[in-house]
Structure 1
Amino acid sequence: MTGFVDKPEPAQVPGLTHVHTGKVRDLYRNEDGDLVMVASDRVSAYDWVLPTEIPDKGRVLTQLSLWWFDQLADLVPNHVVSTELPPGAPAGWAGRTVVCRSLRMVPVECVARGYLTGSGLAEYEETRTVCGLALPEGLVDGSELPAPIFTPATKAEVGEHDENVSYEEVARRVGAETATALRQLTLAVYSRGRDIARERGIILADTKFEFGYGSTADGADGTAGDELLVLADEVLTPDSSRFWPADQWEPGRSQPSFDKQIVRDWLTSPAAGWDRHGEQPPPELPAEVVERTRARYVEAYELLTGTRWD
């Protein structure tokens, strides 16, 4: 297991208790019991959180998630309570902070795939299946699937890989009713996102979601409402999704993407002088790699939202 090259110290903010530092996000809890989620500019690759940050990355992820939550509001409730900065929070948290409902998280990465690539392609090449789902012969890297599929994974700790599992395994772990709801919501949200992205010249190849259970508003008599699944964390961002330019899509090869592939490519190039399978942490990223990566995140935001990044 690996992790951070240099793990940051959490900010000390009156009224907030630090809960967790993840690869990208820092979590705090406020005095009302809500979570305060702050998206940093950290970037991870090959099981390492790198020593170099990508400017504006956390703001892009946060603002794009908020935009998507609005597009999906009629399909599924989300965890957002407020985007106001907590009193005493650092000025640098502006635009990258969301106050969220505290949920009982379902320990499943809900992955939807509309195209074959990545770990799904690797499994398909061996067994002609993905997460136990049989697929047709003749598919290649980048092929569009006959229909989107739900291919869940177990959630991993920092430095560990998520593990693809079958739908039956999800049902065993969380119950048949929850598994059915997760599959239905995941495919519905993916389909909405795919259609919106396609209108903007972007292919949504695959994506992952996280859901948690939260109570509905209390009834008039003061009793608690029923629990329902709520969409949480980030949604349909370059960190959680594979976005491809539609005009460059060409099955049978690796597709250009709106994400940190530039970082991965440099780290595995001779210029980096780094062995991803060794024990040494990765080096600092060159300024040119940082700027190109930032530009890809910003481009994804602008194309999807139709809004100029400032």
Structure 2
Amino acid sequence: MELVYTGSVKDLYKDGNKLVFKYSNRYSIFDWGEMPDEIPHKGEALASMAASFFEHLAKKGIPSHFVGTVNPNTIEVKAVKVLRPHFIEGQYDYSMYQDRPTEALVPLEVIFRKHLGQGNSLEGRLKKNPAYLADLGLKEVPSGATTFDPALVEFSTKLETSDRYLTKKEIADMNIVSEGEQKALRAQTQEIVVELEKLFQSFGVKLWDGKVEYAFGKKKADGDRELLLVDSIGPDELRLTYEGLPLSKEFLRQLYGNTSWSDAVKKSKELAAERKTQDWKSICKDELKEVPKKLSAQQIEVSALLYQALANEVASVVGRKKPFAEEMTLKRWHEKAQEILGN
């Protein structure tokens, strides 16, 4: 196998016309990339959950690039092309999508929201840009107590150094997807949300929001392209809670949330936007002199338990063998997480 990409969380290998995702114990928050320490067994947990979710959704009629499990921390998927937009004179050029490529990654993240909660980004963004309300089909700015049924769906960029939310007109102007394909992205995401919400509710977990990614498949009779669910589904892509505590990457964000480094990340992104540069990370490291510190041994232990317990629960519900010992449960994680978060 040939290593084709090393990410902050997983490594991609090419094996003929397939890709192999090897999940590591690395983690990333705030778009930083690889953090200074690792979470034991995280890779095995993510691989198990990805397989569980893809297999479960396939049974519900939602196609994906998933082929099968290779070993405890590795899955095999169908390969798709990644066409990266060029950064020219302060903006990204997506002209390579005008030819309507197939078997290629859709350069958009699709974000869904079921529940907002306090401190959500949507409320503040809508207050700054009320015109975006109509784009989302909303009549008023929602509050932290708002629940959406069906889920609210937004789009953001995928292949840029910092994600930015997009209106329907901006997506149309980028000429990435047709109007029909944009509607299909929304509809298929709604189907996924319904199935995931039912799955998590079965063992007491609340699904708040998340993101999914797609690839263009073959062209259909109407000229639009099929959509395949790609990348991964798990606690790094979803915001979940269990008995009031964050059961996702949000847990890791909270561990770093009140640090000088997290403040510097926000400031450096603002400075990068003002300067029209992509390299906010260098501003954070070189100008603001801030890098993330390692987690404590106790924080690492509880973080590892989060991933293992959730992988066990998901596998059990979809009929797969639990990947970790029986004592790795959400109840046990909750008890230990309360101590760390001071709840």
TM range (shorter): 0.7 to 0.9
1:265 to 248, 254, 264: 254
Residues 1:141 and 2:144 are matched in the alignment: yes
Q: Which residue of 1 aligns with 2:25?
A: 41
Residues 203 and 228 of structure 1: CA distance in aligned 2, closer, same or farther (over 3 Å): same
Q: Which residue of 2 aligns with 1:54?
A: 39
Residues 286 and 274 of structure 1: CA distance in aligned 2, closer, same or farther (over 3 Å): farther
Q: Which residue of 1 aligns with 2:48?
A: 63
Q: Which residue of 1 aligns with 2:163?
A: 162
Aligned length in residues? 265
TM-fit CA distance, 1:243: 0.8
Q: Which residue of 1 aligns with 2:304?
A: 294
Distance in 1 (alpha carbons) for counterparts of 2:125 and 2:186: 20
The 8 Å contact of residues 212 and 230 in structure 1, kept in 2 or not, is answered as: yes
1:96 to 73, 76, 91: 73
TM-score under structure 1 length normalisation: 0.76
Query: Secondary structure at the residue paired with 2:216?
Result: strand
TM-fit CA distance, 1:240: 0.3
The 8 Å contact of residues 72 and 189 in structure 1, kept in 2 or not, is answered as: yes
The 8 Å contact of residues 107 and 159 in structure 2, kept in 1 or not, is answered as: no
Structure number having the greater helix percentage: 2
Q: Which residue of 1 aligns with 2:331?
A: none
TM-fit CA distance, 1:138: 7.1
- String of CA shifts for 1:95-116, please: whole Å, max 9, x gaps: 1111211121111111111112
Distance in 2 (alpha carbons) for counterparts of 1:75 and 1:120: 31
Distance in 2 (alpha carbons) for counterparts of 1:112 and 1:56: 28
TM-fit CA distance, 1:76: 1.5
Query: Secondary structure at the residue paired with 1:38?
Result: strand
TM-fit CA distance, 1:63: 0.6
1:241 to 238, 241, 256: 238
Distance in 2 (alpha carbons) for counterparts of 1:98 and 1:23: 17
1:309 to 324, 330, 333: 324
Identity of aligned residues (%): 26
- String of CA shifts for 1:9-53, please: whole Å, max 9, x gaps: xxxxxxx222111121111111x2211111111111223220101
Distance in 1 (alpha carbons) for counterparts of 2:169 and 2:259: 43
The 8 Å contact of residues 64 and 301 in structure 1, kept in 2 or not, is answered as: yes
The 8 Å contact of residues 23 and 74 in structure 2, kept in 1 or not, is answered as: yes
Distance in 2 (alpha carbons) for counterparts of 1:126 and 1:283: 33
Residues 131 and 263 of structure 1: CA distance in aligned 2, closer, same or farther (over 3 Å): farther
Aligned residues: CA RMSD? 2.7
1:195-210 superposed matches below 5 A:
195-210=198-213
Distance in 2 (alpha carbons) for counterparts of 1:271 and 1:302: 35
Instruction: Give the aligned residue type for 1:52.
Output: D
Distance in 1 (alpha carbons) for counterparts of 2:263 and 2:204: 36
Query: Secondary structure at the residue paired with 1:284?
Result: coil
Residues 286 and 82 of structure 1: CA distance in aligned 2, closer, same or farther (over 3 Å): same
1:101-250 superposed matches below 5 A:
101-103=78-80, 104-117=104-117, 118-127=120-129, 132-135=135-138, 137=140, 139-157=142-160, 160-171=161-172, 172-215=175-218, 228-235=226-233, 237-245=234-242, 247-248=243-244
The 8 Å contact of residues 41 and 55 in structure 1, kept in 2 or not, is answered as: yes
TM-score under structure 2 length normalisation: 0.69
The 8 Å contact of residues 213 and 228 in structure 1, kept in 2 or not, is answered as: yes
The 8 Å contact of residues 216 and 225 in structure 2, kept in 1 or not, is answered as: yes
Instruction: Give the aligned residue type for 1:299.
Output: A
Query: Secondary structure at the residue paired with 2:176?
Result: helix
Distance in 1 (alpha carbons) for counterparts of 2:123 and 2:134: 11
Distance in 1 (alpha carbons) for counterparts of 2:3 and 2:259: 39
- Gapped runs of 5+ residues in structure 2? 81-103, 268-283, 317-321, 326-343
- String of CA shifts for 1:54-77, please: whole Å, max 9, x gaps: 111121111111111122113221
